[in-house]
Chain A
Amino acid sequence: MSKLKVEARDFNLYYGDFQALKNINFQAEPNTITAFIGPSGCGKSTFLRSFNRMNDLIVGVRTTGETTIDGVNVYDKSINVDELRKQVGMVFQKPNPFPKSIFENVAYGLRVNGVKDKTFIEEKVVSSLKQAALWEEVKDKLKKSALAISGGQQQRLCIARALAISPSIILMDEPASALDPISTAKIEDLVYELKKDYTIIIVTHNMQQAGRVSDRTAFFYMGDLVECDDTTTIFTNPKNIQTQNYITGRFG
């Protein structure tokens, strides 16, 4: 077994008195795609946001146990959260480009991190846009507003923006749920391509999407990680009856 990229050990998360995640144990190897599925409120997005400590922004959040990246506990006191978020990129449900040009959106992360080398920034913007499969569509309008391109293109721009700061993990929270089928297919193809260079965790409500893009699928229910297995196993022969009932649409 190769070295684990991401791991959770006996991880609990509380919003005040409410326990949102219950004793989660989870592992993901490098260069794999894991899909998190489960009904709304099951804890899958909360768990996703634990890897880059996005939950820190919510008042009253408390955690026990560990979530580790490359073996380092991200909740350790010595962790610099800004540095952590450089390593763990995130893409959200709704495309959220900044009201800036396409170029500046991708360059933003580099600039706020103090990069001044213009050539380096240019090269990084181009390579990130190419990696996000957007370059051919925007290469002639890099100075145009990012808000002027389509929703699907905006989402790929957000992925390019995340890639520009060279993370090793990409978290995606329903990245295609606001997109049409063509744009969704492009995002899915892109996710599949990105696996070569990144470890990806994707939250999705779309069962077929989980089946199409992921290597592993984790089913969450009421704060528990009910079952995590190879995606083909989950969708053909899940071990847990709750998983079966959920993926076959019998509850949730």
Chain B
Amino acid sequence: MSHLNTELERLKEDTIEMWSLVISQLERAKLAIENFDDNLVNEIGANEKRVDAFELKLDMDCENILALFNPVANDLRFVLSVLKINYNLERIGDYAKGISRCIKQTKEPFSDEVLRETHIISMFEVALDMLKCTLESFENETNQQAITVFSKDEYLDQINREANKAISDIIKKDIDKAEDTLQLLSFIRKLERVGDQTQNIAEEIVFYLEAKVLKHKKNKTL
């Protein structure tokens, strides 16, 4: 294997590791809401530093490969994609951390009924599924899984659009818990952003594999 190949392989492995870490952060956030678990919240805080460290390392590795190996064609597209995916993953890590902060400020656990009405858990599930699909695509270097996220993201957008009404209905029912209920709105907004960031990641994977630019296109078909 050439020196460049070794470096690219290492970059890929590190990106996958960061991806898995970010997925686990989001899974912890979901569990922390479901179980109102303070330990999980603390774990997210501790792991956030690892996510940040990964971001810096991947940035530096990309910079070094560009400077030292002058990659071209698919190699160049790979490094450029990793640079952007890295940024998107870090932002998703930030959203997980943001959610954990909101949980910390919440006084009481959310009831199953409230979680169901706000679709928070299903939003988490869809967002996690999207992230896992993109990771699978990146690992296997195939588009199929990545492009499924474009339609999945519509579900997150829809819940986000209907969130104001859903949350205000819950507040009206139990005005004493208004402050806690407002945290749910914050979760929804953040999960919607996770969906957008994951879409960006899918676009980068398509750019790497197909040299096609889907960014800013309404029709995301290849």
Q: Which residues of A contact B (CB under 8 A)?
A: 207-208, 211, 235-238, 243-244, 247-250
Known: A235-B73, A248-B71, A248-B75. 11 other contacts (CB 8 A): A207-B72, A211-B72, A236-B72, A236-B73, A237-B73, A237-B77, A237-B211, A244-B73, A244-B74, A248-B72, A248-B73
**A243 — which chain B residues lie within 8 A by C-beta?**
73
Q: Chain B, interface size: which category?
A: 10 to 19
Q: Is the CB of A250 within 8 A of B73?
A: no
Q: Given the complex of chains A and B, what is the CA–CA distance between A250 and B77 in angstroms?
A: 16
**A207 — which chain B residues lie within 8 A by C-beta?**
70, 72
Q: Is the CB of A236 within 8 A of B4?
A: no
Q: Which residues of B contact A (CB under 8 A)?
A: 2, 4, 70-77, 211
Q: Is the CB of A248 within 8 A of B70?
A: no
Q: Given the complex of chains A and B, what is the CA–CA distance between A244 and B72 in angstroms?
A: 8
Q: Given the complex of chains A and B, what is the CA–CA distance between A211 and B73 in angstroms?
A: 12
Q: Given the complex of chains A and B, what is the CA–CA distance between A207 and B77 in angstroms?
A: 17
**B76 — which chain A residues lie within 8 A by C-beta?**
235-236
**B74 — which chain A residues lie within 8 A by C-beta?**
244, 248
Between A207, A208, A248, the greatest number of chain B beta carbons within 10 A of the residue's beta carbon is seen for A248
Q: Given the complex of chains A and B, what is the CA–CA distance between A211 and B71 in angstroms?
A: 12
Q: Among B4, B77, B211, which residue has its beta carbon within 8 angstroms of that of A249?
A: B4
B87 to chain A: closest CB distance in Å? 21
Q: Given the complex of chains A and B, what is the CA–CA distance between A208 and B72 in angstroms?
A: 9
Residue of A nearest to B4 (CB): A249
Q: Given the complex of chains A and B, what is the CA–CA distance between A74 and B179 in angstroms?
A: 85
**A244 — which chain B residues lie within 8 A by C-beta?**
73-74
Q: Is the CB of B211 within 8 A of A250?
A: no
Q: Given the complex of chains A and B, what is the CA–CA distance between A247 and B76 in angstroms?
A: 11
**A211 — which chain B residues lie within 8 A by C-beta?**
72
Between A208, A211, A243, A247, the greatest number of chain B beta carbons within 10 A of the residue's beta carbon is seen for A247
Q: Among A235, A247, A249, which residue has its beta carbon within 8 angstroms of that of B2?
A: A249
Residue of B nearest to A239 (CB): B211
Question: What are 9 of the A-B contact pairs (CB < 8 Å)?
Answer: A207-B70, A208-B70, A235-B73, A236-B76, A236-B77, A236-B211, A237-B211, A247-B72, A248-B73
The 6 closest A-B pairs by CB, nearest first: A237-B211, A235-B72, A244-B73, A247-B72, A248-B75, A248-B73
Q: Given the complex of chains A and B, what is the CA–CA distance between A236 and B213 in angstroms?
A: 13
